[in-house]
Chains A and B, each alone.
Chain A
């Protein structure tokens, strides 16, 4: 045992019997999340069932100085919910109750283990839904969405998770309970935006225990348009054309040939055949408005060189289009034994340029890259395909990933749109932020988490003085891949 016997006994007292797991066989399946290339074995997994149990566990960890990470469904693509070595995994799946729904106020109060889509299912009877829709929404939990400020296809129109969280009850890393925000849909009014600080903090500031989310009325009508192009660049330019026309679609997505092939194999959606790139634009809102916008959209798309334009026939067809799109990452598993998915963002106007650079880099490395992305907000998702069984390919893929991120930053973008930094992009933080920036972030973190036990090793570069890591060259600089201007 890694820790003193009493530590495990304390966990056992809070979560008795099979709710504290320490055997090899029980810990193994928790050693990775959806970033399966990385794994770390925890000292224990605990399965609390109440808020009080979560708080008690945090206090025990704090007293013993043992690091912890909260975990929902383990779908993080940046290793955000990967265990800390010899730390505790606090699995929140059993805190999965929707505590209250207020249809008049259009809010719901939920526990962190509630699955994103289940909120929408539960409030459908009131004509409401929860807007942020990460592709993993059928299984990812609200707690994880908060930790990573998750986005999704429809965040183009509605904003990310942080725009939909009204109030939070949180346990800080030392066990103190605090509440941020208010249940008013008008937001908090005065004072600093503490919800803004907490949402997206990747577990460094503690664990959300109770969450008030904003609900929206279900749009009266959807109109999902597919436009097929013979080059990726044309599709990218079409995005700018749509935005320039003044339209604000609910979602605007692009999938390239490889991604289409994988998604088609998974879902048999019947995407237009032979496309190098497919643009999916979804209009939504009141019926008359959607009809008006649709006419305008078709008009705009006609001028962008699409060789085929289709409209979702019915709700079932629309469902399939989105199922294929939302499962696209995982379906790339059909094309390649391994892949790294990146999450860089570029200004929308730079999309075409970014895609061209990615393609060139892909050729240079001899590694295939499939592209699926939230085109409307410039959030790229290049999937770098490699075969880990071939010596050196993982390293090559990582280098290529680093180069793509450097390109995004060079074009005025950023490292991540929605997957978070996690362990995966941590070492690239100095590419984006200066020493002072990183020191400020680290200072804030040290004020909140004095012992450094809340998901340490994620998001911020490690070490006592993290900014020091920036002295000397980044490994990618040494390799001549990136440079700092």
Chain B
């Protein structure tokens, strides 16, 4: 698509933005893959519509505030990316555009408050744990709270699970086949510490030594996806340092959260023109989702004696669309004897969780959540597995709302269960 944007005016990310706009041919193939277009049916709320709006803002034909509601409504699910024949790097455009406008925009007070709460708590496990506990008190007065805060409270579990400490090094069982570093993450360690425990146990059972840098923290992805570039970079820098301190080589940096994996793969762009760019790119090249790593390595020693299981697999957007990972988790699950894998018949539409989306756009998120829960229920599976903590909470809430008793698990939890570890 033609444009009149001077990419140099827009800093390190200028070319990423104009490159994406140039490669868009406005064919409309993305519309079918877009959750907001599916729900709202308007061109402004489609990927090609948003690209057109961003182009017009960057060209100076349109006020940024006018376009903003439509950009804000984008889930960032990247469903449009694999659907795009022309290879538009929509993620690069969106993240860069959001980072650019975030510094310039005015938000209503309640949005600012919600956003602050997200920014100041989610990336920090200790703060988030404290806030979640305080949130339980908040539930007593939630009727009096604005919608967004109420949605936030509703997402908190009734009680937080006990933290599960993981040692700095977990040895490989049997013959050592590989050595990896592991990102423990932020929100997930508070809401579902069992997922990390299952991850290291599963790796260890497959002959993998796991190193867990102790100074690591949030990878910054949750903030970079909402345009908080500087804070994201600060968090990412901390992790670059923490992982650089590992003695010896590792074969991969493992994550079990799709959002983190996709964000870390974008470190090169996050650190564009920064002194750390090379280091960040090298780090990004090593990042692998747990399912990709295990699928490449090959599972060994799954106990033969397994119960009959009917399991649905939900493609987390940041795994399937942003990283193109669809086969590895299915391969791993299919390796479990007596397991029937069920596919969802919903074209892989986002569940509406999308990082902080269910906090910022509760209505659309709820509609997508209902659609996803229905698609899961329609498979007749008794368990649904997925590779992202964000979807986890959303899917669990909406399945519960429709009264379905379908168990929600992370892919590694089901695998660990099959291994009996």
Contacts and interface: CB of A to CB of B under 8 A. Distances in A.
Given A25-B67, A36-B1, A266-B87, A47 B23 contact: no
B56 A28 contact: yes
A317 to B, nearest CB: 14
A477 to B, nearest CB: 29
Nearest to B1: A36
A136 B26 contact: no
A222 interface: no
Contacts of B53: 25, 28-29
A334 B23 contact: yes
A349 B92 CA distance: 47
Interface stretch (B27-35, B273-281, B313-321, B370-378): B27-35
Contacts of B56: 28
Nearest to B34: A139
B25 A36 contact: yes
Nearest to B45: A29
Interface string A90-126: 0101101000000000000000000100000000000
B85 A29 contact: no
Interface in B5-60: 22-29, 31-32, 41-44, 46, 48-49, 52-53, 56
A29 B63 CA distance: 14
A23 B49 CA distance: 15
Contacts of B43: 29-30, 74, 91
B359 interface: no
B66 interface: yes
Contact of B31 (A73, A267, A388): A73
Given A29-B53, A47-B42, A139-B28, A330 B85 contact: yes
Given A330-B27, A331-B87, A26 B2 contact: no
A389 interface: yes
A268 to B, nearest CB: 10
Contacts of B85: 263, 266-267, 327-331, 333
A130 to B, nearest CB: 16
A450 to B, nearest CB: 31
A75 B52 contact: no
A382 to B, nearest CB: 16
Interface in A5-43: 21, 23-26, 28-30, 32-34, 36-37
B27 A136 contact: yes
Interface string B165-187: 00000000000000000000000
A29 B32 contact: no
A338 interface: yes
Contacts of A65: none
Nearest to A327: B85
A29 B52 contact: yes
Contacts of A388: 2
A94 B28 contact: no
A36 B66 CA distance: 22
A330 B25 contact: yes
Contacts of A30: 43
- Give the interface size bracket for B toward A: 20 to 34
A28 B52 CA distance: 8
A32 B49 CA distance: 10
B83 to A, nearest CB: 8
A138 B32 contact: yes
B87 A29 contact: no
B29, B46, B63, most chain A CB atoms within 10 A: B29
B308 to A, nearest CB: 26
B86 A330 contact: yes
A329 B62 contact: no
Contacts of A412: none
Contacts of A331: 85-87
Most A CB contacts (10 A, CB to CB) among B23, B32, B48, B84 go to B32
Contacts of B46: 29
Nearest to A96: B41
Contact of B29 (A32, A36, A37, A136): A136
Contacts of B49: 29
Interface string A288-330: 0000000000000000000000000000000000000001111
Contact of A338 (B2, B42, B66): B2
Contacts of A36: 1-2, 25-26
A338 B1 CA distance: 7
A34 B46 CA distance: 14
B27 A26 contact: no
B30 to A, nearest CB: 8
A265 B52 contact: no
A34 B87 contact: no
Contacts of B86: 266, 330-334
Contacts of B42: 21, 26, 47, 91, 93
Nearest to B25: A333
A143 to B, nearest CB: 14
B87 A139 contact: no
Nearest to B55: A28
A329 B29 CA distance: 11
Contact of A333 (B24, B63, B67): B24
Nearest to B65: A25
Nearest to A74: B28
A274 B53 CA distance: 40
B41 A93 contact: yes
A30 B62 CA distance: 15
Given A265-B87, A338-B2, A24 B27 contact: no
Nearest to B68: A25
Interface centre among B26, B27, B49 (most CB of A within 10 A): B27
A337 interface: yes
Nearest to A324: B85
A93 B29 CA distance: 15
Contacts of A267: 85
Contacts of B61: 28
Contact of A26 (B29, B44, B63): B44
Contacts of B31: 73, 139
A23 B65 CA distance: 13
A138 B84 CA distance: 12
Contacts of B52: 28-29, 32
A314 B70 CA distance: 41
B415 to A, nearest CB: 24
A256 B52 CA distance: 31
Interface string A72-83: 011100000000
8 closest A-B pairs by beta carbon, nearest first, are A327-B85, A333-B86, A330-B85, A29-B49, A36-B26, A331-B85, A29-B43, A333-B25
Given A332-B25, A333-B87, A337-B2, 7 more contacts: A25-B53, A91-B43, A94-B41, A136-B28, A266-B85, A334-B86, A337-B23
23 contacts: A24-B62, A24-B66, A25-B67, A28-B52, A29-B46, A29-B49, A32-B26, A32-B52, A34-B26, A36-B1, A74-B28, A75-B27, A91-B43, A138-B29, A140-B28, A263-B85, A266-B87, A329-B27, A330-B25, A330-B84, A331-B87, A333-B25, A339-B25
Interface of A: 21, 23-26, 28-30, 32-34, 36-37, 47, 73-75, 91, 93-94, 96, 115, 136, 138-140, 263, 265-267, 327-334, 337-339, 388-389
